[in-house]
Amino acid sequence: MTKYNFDEIVDRKGTNALKVDALQERYGDANLIPLWVADMDFKVAQEITDAIIERARHGVFGYTCPSQEYYNAIINWVDRHHSWTIKQEWISFVPGIVKGIAFVIDAFTTSEDKVIIQPPVYHPFRIIPTLHHRAIVNNCLKLEAGRYNMDLDGLKTIITSECKVLILCNPHNPGGRVWTREELIDIAEICYDNKVLVISDEIHADLTFEKQGHKHIPFASVSEKAAQNSITFMAPSKTFNIAGLVSSFAVIPNQELREKFFAYLEKSELSEGHIFALLGAQVAYEKGDEWLAQAKDYIWDNITFVDEYLKKNIPQIKAMLPDASFLVWLDCKDLNLPQAELQNLFIKDAKLALNTGTMFGVGGEGYMRMNVAIRRQVIEQALENLKNAVNKLLGI
């Protein structure tokens, strides 16, 4: 029985929602169907809303500290869902995973150092180190049989003594790959042996589609080398649609890394979460299982709907079915359009706002990223718009 209604219409206009209220600024048209920034259009679990309302009724919002229940909720969730036993002293709040990556870059590298990324990949992985004046080294993913694989042999050849950090997207964004234990062990071996610190961004971990045979594996859990040479970032934000609460956290088993990073955070009081950040994470992890299970079922149905619709109606565009997340990577190369014209097709002709593939770096040419964590009716309209735009392009 479905307890939650993911078909409910939620009007986000006028709420300062980036996804809709920034359309004019970002795309030049406020009336596009927004399928870009990675948050959901679904209301959060009522249990989270109720807890926040109840706390707000108290009427005093003074300085706060994490409760034992907060830590227990994280520890129990990670153990139950990902079979990784972590300790309370390994955990620290961080005010966002992208910010956390920036903190690691700042704390553990200098302007003489280089950062390895695996494009096409989440664009802040490239942007943040670049803004910190660190050179980027690309270890490009290999597209094989419609799925991305790591180029581990290539990784071995590009590493030099200047490479100090590898940023791992686990699961991958935008392709949705859930990396295997063997792949993660290989990454751990290569990076440990070459003194390259691994940052593992695991924000999409809880959106892995287990019913379709996929299982997220935390990087630090695969081996002792992985545990001793990594900083893991997790969050309930994508999972439970609470990105605005800013509830991310770091998990660091290695004491030396942990002490250095936590000291960096504490110097600027960056490790102190606000009342609703801590409460939102705690309640999500304590009471969010049923909501999440039903949300993932709904999202998976949307993914398969997109895939089947494209195959039947727009065969020139192919969907890469994700192992995790609500993001679908669309291969539009058969349209033979330069990226700027491909963007115009989606924006001007189909009236859709998606993320353009080139923002994800090398290998993103000819792709668009689509967020399907929305009502099915909206997806149906979006695909109808896209079909009409492509048919017009092809003169059908």
User: Concatenated DSSP letters for 292-329?
Assistant: HHHHHHHHHHHHHHHHHHHHHH-TTSEEE--SBSSEEE
Residue 74 near residue 91, CB atoms below 8 Å: yes
Give the per-residue pLDDT at 3: 86
Residue 173 near residue 325, CB atoms below 8 Å: yes
Give the per-residue pLDDT at 312: 98
Do the domains at 18-45+290-394 and 60-287 have one common CATH topology? no
Tokens of 395: 């003169």
Residue 210 near residue 241, CB atoms below 8 Å: no
- Cβ contacts of 263-266, under 8 Å, gap ≥ 24: 264/103, 264/106, 264/107, 265/92, 265/94, 265/103
* Superfamily holding 18-45+290-394: Aspartate Aminotransferase, domain 1 (3.90.1150.10)
Q: Return d(Cα 180, Cα 216) in angstroms, integer.
A: 8
Residue 250 near residue 108, CB atoms below 8 Å: no
- Which neighbouring-strand residues pair with 249? 93, 234
Tokens of 38: 């990675």
The pTM for the full model equals 0.97
- Alpha-helical regions (H) of 109-180: 124-131, 152-158
Domain map (residue ranges) of the chain: 18-45+290-394, 60-287
* Closest by CA position to 134, among listed 146, 125, 123: 125
Residue 206 near residue 241, CB atoms below 8 Å: no
Residue 383 near residue 309, CB atoms below 8 Å: yes
Give the per-residue pLDDT at 170: 98
Rounded to the nearest 5°, which phi and psi values hold at 144?
A: -135, 120
Cis peptide before 124 (omega within 30 of 0): no
Domain 60-287: which topology?
Answer: Aspartate Aminotransferase; domain 2 (3.40.640)
* Closest by CA position to 292, among listed 83, 55, 77: 77
Radius of gyration of the chain (CA): 21
* Closest by CA position to 232, among listed 66, 82, 120: 82
Cα–Cα distance list, 327 to 12, 68, 171, 207, 296 (Å): 20, 34, 11, 10, 12
The DSSP symbol for 208 reads B
pLDDT of the chain, 396 residues: tens digit per residue: 568 999 999 999 999 999 999 999 999 999 999 999 999 999 999 999 999 999 999 999 999 999 999 999 999 999 999 999 999 999 999 999 999 999 999 999 999 999 999 999 999 999 999 999 999 999 999 999 999 999 999 999 999 999 999 999 999 999 999 999 999 999 999 999 999 999 999 999 999 999 999 999 999 999 999 999 999 999 999 999 999 999 999 999 999 999 999 999 999 999 999 999 999 999 999 999 999 999 999 999 999 999 999 999 999 999 999 999 999 999 999 999 999 999 999 999 999 999 999 999 999 999 999 999 999 999 999 999 999 999 999 999
Give the per-residue pLDDT at 1: 58
Tokens of 311: 């195959």
- Beta strands (DSSP E) in the chain are 33-34, 91-93, 114-117, 135-138, 142-144, 147-149, 163-169, 197-201, 230-234, 249-251, 318-320, 327-331, 352-353, 355-356, 367-371
Tokens of 148: 């991305």
